[in-house]
A and B are shown apart, each in its own frame.
Chain A
């Protein structure tokens, strides 16, 4: 907070008519720091994975920079032809939120697909396990000769694969 900070205190120059008062800027910086601290804490408690934290930390950092570097937002806004600097902020924030939501949608889709595959595998394994257990119980319960006959009467599923002519 050197040159831009001073510029805000002494309102001179081209872009300073939109400069918010110092107290507001302090609030913005505090909020940005709080967001970063909150995200950091979530990662520390392992409730948020680093790969998803990075995007939020990036958002916090951008807000922090914009809050500290007074002229930047106005300069950026003017550069792209937006004359009301807060609009540029809204546009950037909106874009960021959209990107995040699309990112989450693809993530949810991927997780749903993996979830489905896991459910199917669990079901298949459970059925296989129950069948094996039943066969073993039958083999134990019956005299050996009967058990052997039963095993022959039931076609081995793995052997019967493939096309028949």
Chain B
């Protein structure tokens, strides 16, 4: 059973990306012409908004810097209120290749039970493309293991911001989205709301301009904050159905992971088909 989507939105968060944003927008319009482009200017002090508008994007201008989570959520609220059926996040710095959108979309269309498709750098068999620094890969692998255990599906690139959601995902993220460093948490959030996500191999490129939001000194904060957020999320009530099984008597973090692992293998077998 396939489905197809008529209204599709590319959400492009950008903070001081005047050097790259025009090229990103142009690439999106050229290589993914059926997507409307919405650039979210998160309180930039440079000409990001003007450059994006000139390149033909719609621009959502935050009155001040609200952080990546709040900016992206603004895009999801826009998508919800303007009746979009699919929204995809594309970084404004040129790391994500708009040519890969078709791949993500195809995956989402062919499996109607999926609510989110994430582009993963680590699934590609040829091992090419940009894969972040070695130190970051260690962190990514730790989170990949934790998120895989929690969600019961194999997650290889939990920090990838290159992700496409259907209407259910749009509505969830418009309502609830993590404040900062949201990628990893968002996967757990999807799972907590009984929405399904999967990964698709993509290639990424090193950023063409600007700096990563996560500097070396902030990496430690990033790790601890995200770990705490994931751990806390295990104890939140899980909406929709099955709220009772959400709060098992889990005492320690080790216990939580052990509990998460057992159903992980079961579901993996189901999903492997």
**Residues of A near any B CB (own CB < 8 A):** 112-113, 115-116, 119-120, 122-124, 126-127, 131, 157-165
Q: How far is the CA of A162 from the CA of B6 in the complex (A)?
A: 10
Tell me which residues across on chain A come within 8 A of B58, comparing CB atoms.
Answer: 127, 131
Of B25-33, B62-70, B261-269, the segment with at least 4 beta carbons within 8 Å of chain A is B62-70
Contact of A158 with B60 at beta-carbon distance under 8 Å, contacts A124-B77, A164-B4 already known: no
Cβ contact within 8 Å between A127 and B61 = yes
Q: How far is the CB of B210 from chain A (nearest CB, A)?
A: 20
Contact of A127 with B64 at beta-carbon distance under 8 Å, contacts A163-B85, A164-B6 already known: no
Cβ contact within 8 Å between A164 and B5 = yes
Of all chain B residues, the one with the shortest Cβ separation from A122 is: B63
Cβ contact within 8 Å between B62 and A120 = yes
Tell me which residues across on chain B come within 8 A of A112, comparing CB atoms.
Answer: 179
Subset of 20 A-B contacts with CB under 8 Å: A113-B179, A116-B66, A119-B63, A120-B66, A120-B73, A122-B63, A124-B60, A126-B61, A127-B61, A157-B82, A158-B82, A160-B7, A160-B83, A161-B82, A161-B83, A162-B83, A163-B85, A164-B3, A164-B4, A164-B85
Q: How far is the CA of A123 from the CA of B179 in the complex (A)?
A: 17
Q: How far is the CA of A159 from the CA of B7 in the complex (A)?
A: 12
Cβ contact within 8 Å between A120 and B74 = yes
B90 within 8 Å of A by Cβ? Answer: no
Instruction: Identify B81's interface contact among A124, A126, A159, CB under 8 A.
Output: A124
Q: How far is the CB of A139 from chain B (nearest CB, A)?
A: 19
Q: How far is the CB of A133 from chain B (nearest CB, A)?
A: 14
**Residues of B near any A CB (own CB < 8 A):** 3-7, 40, 58-64, 66-67, 70, 73-74, 77-78, 81-83, 85, 167, 179
Instruction: Identify A120's interface contact among B70, B83, B85, CB under 8 A.
Output: B70
Cβ contact within 8 Å between B40 and A119 = no
Tell me which residues across on chain A come within 8 A of B83, comparing CB atoms.
Answer: 157-162
Tell me which residues across on chain B come within 8 A of A163, comparing CB atoms.
Answer: 85, 167
Cβ contact within 8 Å between B6 and A119 = no
Contact of A120 with B77 at beta-carbon distance under 8 Å, contacts A160-B7, A165-B3 already known: yes
Cβ contact within 8 Å between A123 and B81 = no
Q: How far is the CB of B66 from chain A (nearest CB, A)?
A: 5
Tell me which residues across on chain B come within 8 A of A113, comparing CB atoms.
Answer: 179
Q: How far is the CA of A159 from the CA of B167 in the complex (A)?
A: 16
Q: How far is the CB of A158 from chain B (nearest CB, A)?
A: 7
Q: How far is the CA of A158 from the CA of B64 in the complex (A)?
A: 28
Tell me which residues across on chain A come within 8 A of B85, comparing CB atoms.
Answer: 162-164
Cβ contact within 8 Å between A123 and B7 = no
Further 18 A-B residue pairs, CB within 8 A, beyond A116-B67, A123-B40, A124-B78? A115-B66, A116-B70, A120-B62, A122-B63, A123-B60, A123-B61, A123-B74, A124-B60, A127-B59, A127-B78, A131-B58, A157-B83, A160-B6, A161-B83, A162-B83, A162-B167, A163-B85, A164-B5
Most buried by B among A112, A119, A159: A119
Tell me which residues across on chain A come within 8 A of B6, comparing CB atoms.
Answer: 160, 164
Q: How far is the CB of B14 from chain A (nearest CB, A)?
A: 13
Q: How far is the CA of A120 from the CA of B209 in the complex (A)?
A: 26
Q: How far is the CB of B67 from chain A (nearest CB, A)?
A: 8
Tell me which residues across on chain A come within 8 A of B40, comparing CB atoms.
Answer: 123
Q: How far is the CA of A39 from the CA of B46 in the complex (A)?
A: 43
Q: How far is the CA of A115 from the CA of B67 in the complex (A)?
A: 12
Cβ contact within 8 Å between B60 and A127 = yes
